[in-house]
Chains A and B, each alone.
Chain A
Amino acid sequence: MKVHECDAREIFRRHGLPVPDWRVASTADDAAQAASAFEWPVVIKAQVLAGGRGKAGGVKLADSPAEAAAAATQILGLNIGSEPVRRVLVAPAVDIARELYLGVVIDRTAQSLVLMASAEGGVDIEEVAATNPSAILRVNVDPVVGLPDWEARQLGFALGLTGAQVRQFVGIAQGLVEAFVDVDASLAEVNPLVVDDAGDLQAIDAKLNIDDNALGRQPDIEQLRDPHEESEAERRARAAGLSYIKLDGTIGCMVNGAGLAMATMDVIKHYGGEPANFLDVGGGAGVEKITTAFELILEDPNVRAVLVNIFAGITRADDVAAGVIAARERLTQEVPLVVRVAGTREAEALELLDCAGIGAERSMDSAAALVVEAAR
């Protein structure tokens, strides 16, 4: 789950990061009024979850209430990614002497946290990683031990900081690691972390993603979920225990297991079709779940045929077959349906489908070839 900048700022500040004051506004008038509380100029920033908002025109400076209102009007009229801008953040503009990067992510290989820092802040860090990887300094951090002073200090010196700046940096780096652990983050980032004209460090941006598996024990963070982050269909899927992602093709897919669901999409493509969605019904798929899955797939107007591909292990194939039959009876829409079932209780499933007049394929390849033909 992604957290908005304004909420991430609050969390970072709670962990001692020097985040300058800000206000949030959802209209141009409110933005102008909020700006008047600060010294001019102010910066006005779109609050969206998508990246690349600077390039999309979602960040502007303003030197007066009129300019602030005009900038806010422009930004509030933007779509960034496919996301309409609903709110802006207003903060005093900082005179920037240097821009640094600081971030914490999971290091899958080392199986620890990794703190990354770079003297090349303010730009896309992926780009730095691709073009100049040695410009990114990395320190693995044990989440139980935390970031030791000496390691944070060493990193501060390596970034070219001096004296009091290094002391500030140690607090910031340790605070960011603490914040990451505290909220079960999957990414915590300050880009840029700036040195201002007075030589002080300030965190003027905040990015925070949360580990979806940990939301159950992070009720305060769950509260920060932007209902617009996922589509209505994705929200309903999540509530039903399904994993659904809409794509642009014409063949709806219903599969059990994430790996097989991805493989099914790939095999459809291999036979010349385009998948309309990723949909993992998970283990133990009953009638309700399968009906919801069908509804989600068929609500997509691009869908011309549906492939059900189930390899039952923890799931029972006959339960799935019963679900498919019941769901089909409830649906009013007629759409070509290709079913492939295998695994636990396969024979019983095939018999059920046969009685209901639904032909079943035994192999994934033949099923995919058939559904591609049906969608033409």
Chain B
Amino acid sequence: MSILLDATTRLVVQGMTGSQGSFHTRLMREAGTRVVAGVTPGRAGASVAGLEDVPVFNTVAEATQETGANAACIFVPAAFAADAILEGVAAGLDVIVCLTEGIPVLDMLRVMPRVRASGSHLIGPNCPGITTPADGVKVGVMPWAVHSPGHAGVVSRSGTLTYEVVQHLTDLGAGQTTTVGIGGDPIIGTRFIDVLSMFEADPETHGVVLLGEIGGDDEERAATYIQERMTKPVTSFIAGKTAPPERRMGHAGAIVSGTSGSATAKESALRAAGVLVGETPEHAARLLVDRLR
């Protein structure tokens, strides 16, 4: 089993006719994802090179009605991405993965009450997506080749750091149930605790690697959750120990403000909750593999 996505996932790609959208839709299909529709307003009926058999619709509602899509992947520029999320929510999709980087924070604040009131899981924005290796489902831009099926769950605020750790897990013989990139923005749809609770409930997942970074207090909240509710082992790496304060480190959400959001504070909160914290990403992967033996 896996979380969020499985063999029943039928994907609609919002923004499939763009260059990034079409390139990554082809890669998602190569991984095994069932891409059933594309949506680009005003481009209904368009044919996309290499994706001629995927129908393009004007609206997500039409795409859902015609193809039975139940999940969306959003490749839409930042200025229109919040609207694309609302459209997916209105269509009643189970999972909406928004990869877009650079969405204004106020747009996300306006969108989130609607998302929270709906039955949709929003992943991201500013995230690499989700993979479930055993089912051959990838929604996002992760390099598929690093994945392998198994019993480790991975949840991360960063894209490339996730690939790094997934590669190590695979090299060490520990495959993954699901990997989830929750995104590097300050306001995101699904947070560490949400994903941890799904992994805790998933019988196939035996342990979790949590990849955090400076900024906010989601890691601290995750630590409390792990201590109070989790029975499965969790290991972690927190990026940004060497980051200077008050500087935004690439991700909009990665900033140490005053005394809050430092890597050290996050590490000690996690350690206090029984989480094994690695010195390097590879170390965090090793620690989990050792615990799962």
Note all chain B residues with C-beta closer than 8 A to A266. 239-242, 263, 280
CB distance from B189 to the nearest CB of A (A): 9
Choose among B146, B247, B249, B280 the residue that contacts A267 (Cβ–Cβ < 8 A): B280
Q: Within 8 Å CB of A256, what residues of B?
A: 160
CB under 8 Å from chain A, chain B span 102-140: 102-106, 108-110, 112-113, 116, 128
Residues of chain B lying within 8 A (CB to CB) of residue A243: 249-250
Known contacts A258-B249, A278-B250, A280-B250; A181/B106 CB under 8 A = yes
* Residues on the A chain within 8 Å of B160, using CB: 255-257, 259-260, 311, 313
Q: Give the interface size class of chain A.
A: 35 or more
B150 surroundings in chain A (CB, below 8 A): none
**Interface mask (B196-231 → A, CB under 8 Å = 1, otherwise 0):** 000000000000000101101110010000000000
Contacts of A142 in B (CB 8 A): 113
Q: Is A247 touching B161 in the complex (CB atoms < 8 A)?
A: no
Q: Which of A126, A186, A217, A259 contacts B239 (CB 8 A)?
A: A259
Most B-side CB within 10 Å, residue of A111, A113, A269, A343: A111
**Inter-chain contact total with CB atoms closer than 8 Å:** 171
Contact B249 A245 (CB under 8 A): yes
> Nearest chain A CB to B54's CB is how many angstroms away?
20
B48 close to chain A: CB less than 8 A: no
State which of A144, A245, A363 has its C-beta within 8 Å of the C-beta of B110: A144
The distance from the CB of A221 to the nearest CB of chain B, in whole angstroms, is 12
Binds B, one of A18-26, A115-123, A208-216, A298-306: A208-216
Instruction: Give the residue of B78, B79, B158 whose beta carbon is less than 8 angstroms from that of A260.
Output: B158
Q: In the docked arrangement, what's the CA distance between A265 and B164, Å?
A: 15
Given A213-B103, A266-B239, A126:B259 Cβ within 8 A: yes
Please name all residues of chain A whose beta carbon is closer than 8 Å to the beta carbon of B218 when the two chains form the complex. 108
Q: Which residues of A contact B104 (CB under 8 A)?
A: 184, 211, 213-214, 217
Chain B residues with a Cβ closer than 8 Å to the other chain, count: 63
Residues on A with C-beta less than 8 A from B249 are 243, 245, 258, 261-262, 278
Of B109, B164, B240, the residue contacting A364 (CB under 8 A) is B164
Tell me, rounded to whole Å, the shortest Cβ–Cβ distance linking B71 to chain A: 20
8 A Cβ contacts from B159-186 to A: 159-164, 167, 184, 186
Instruction: Please name the residue on chain B nearest to A145 by beta carbon.
Output: B113
B281 sits at the interface (CB 8 A):
yes
A332 at the interface (CB under 8 A from B): no
Q: Decide yes or no whether A326 CB sits under 8 A from chain B.
A: no
Hey, which chain A residues are within 8 Å of B184, CB to CB? 258-259
Which chain A residue lies CB-closest to B240?
A262
The closest CB in chain B to the CB of A187 belongs to B257
| Contact across chains for B258 and A365 when beta carbons are under 8 A apart | no
Hey, which chain B residues are within 8 Å of A216, CB to CB? 78-79
A130 to B79, CA, bound (A): 37
Which residue from B78, B158, B187, B258 sits with its C-beta under 8 Å from A259?
B158
Which of A260, A278, A312 sits near B143, CB closer than 8 Å? Answer: A312
Interface centre among B78, B161, B247 (most CB of A within 10 A): B161
B271 contacts A by Cβ under 8 Å = no
Q: Which residues of B lie under 8 Å from residue A247 when comparing CB positions?
A: 242, 244
**B232 lies within 8 A of chain A by Cβ:** no
List chain B residues, Cβ under 8 A from A313: 128, 141-143, 159-160, 163
Measured between beta carbons, the chain A residues less than 8 angstroms from B116 are 111
Q: Which residues of chain A from 239 to 288 have a CB within 8 Å of any chain B CB?
A: 243, 245, 247, 255-263, 265-270, 275, 278, 280, 283
Q: B141 to A214, Cβ gap below 8 A? A: no
Could you say which residues of chain B place their CB within 8 Å of the CB of A113?
Answer: 109
5 A-B pairs besides A212-B252, A216-B78, A365-B282 with CB distance below 8 A are A258-B251, A260-B160, A260-B164, A263-B280, A364-B164
CB-based closest 8 A-B pairs? A259-B158, A258-B250, A257-B160, A259-B161, A214-B104, A260-B160, A262-B239, A126-B258
**Sample (25) of A-B pairs whose CB atoms are under 8 Å apart:** A106-B187, A143-B110, A144-B110, A184-B106, A211-B105, A213-B78, A217-B79, A247-B244, A256-B160, A257-B160, A258-B251, A259-B156, A259-B157, A259-B159, A259-B160, A259-B161, A259-B213, A259-B239, A260-B160, A260-B164, A267-B280, A268-B242, A278-B247, A343-B145, A365-B282
Residues of A bordering B, CB below 8 Å: 106, 108-109, 111-113, 126, 129-130, 142-144, 181, 184, 186, 211-214, 216-217, 243, 245, 247, 255-263, 265-270, 275, 278, 280, 283, 311-314, 342-344, 363-365
Chain B interface residues (CB < 8 Å from chain A): 20, 24, 78-79, 102-106, 108-110, 112-113, 116, 128, 141-143, 145-146, 156-164, 167, 184, 186-187, 211, 213-214, 216-218, 221, 237, 239-244, 247-254, 258-259, 263, 279-282
